[in-house]
Amino acid sequence: MAEKKFVFIITGSYDNPDKAAGAMQLAANMKALDIELDFFLMDKGALLAKKGFAESLTWQKKDEFSPIADLMNTLIQDFGVKFYICASCIKHYGLDKAELVPNSEAKPGSFLGEMLLEREGLTF
């Protein structure tokens, strides 16, 4: 079987933290199996790239998923996952003036399109 590659597309954050947490939990489980994957953050999901933002998501349902901040730290520090940020969202959400999480960088929507030609996209 050919080795599959994935891009997790996150479009929400504070508006649905459990959905973002579920995506990151699935990604962490897949990385533990050595699956190649990265994230593309767009719309409100782009805010997750702002350093300290994930720690502010305190209304996440308890005991169902690990906290988003912990999941992001695991994905970034333990697995080296990249978090690409929609370039159009950078200025819109004030990320051009913010410190970003490690392993993150702005990329245009065309970059996501290129990734989707080579990877399976999972949108959350």
Quote the pLDDT of residue 64.
67
Which letter, b or e, does each residue of 90-105 get, where b requires 16 or more Cβ atoms within 10 Å of its Cβ?
A: beebebeeeebbebbe
Domain count of the chain?
A: 1
pTM: 0.92
What's the average model confidence in pLDDT over 1-8? Answer: 83
Tokens representing residue 68 in the block: 């988003």
Domain that holds residue 54: 5-123
Query: Residue 80's CB: how many other CB atoms inside 10 A?
Result: 11
Encode pLDDT of 35-93 as tens digits.
999 999 999 999 999 999 999 987 656 666 789 999 999 999 999 999 999 999 999 99
Quote the pLDDT of residue 58.
75
CA distances from 44 to 32, 55, 71 (A): 27, 15, 18
CATH number, position 57:
3.40.1260.10
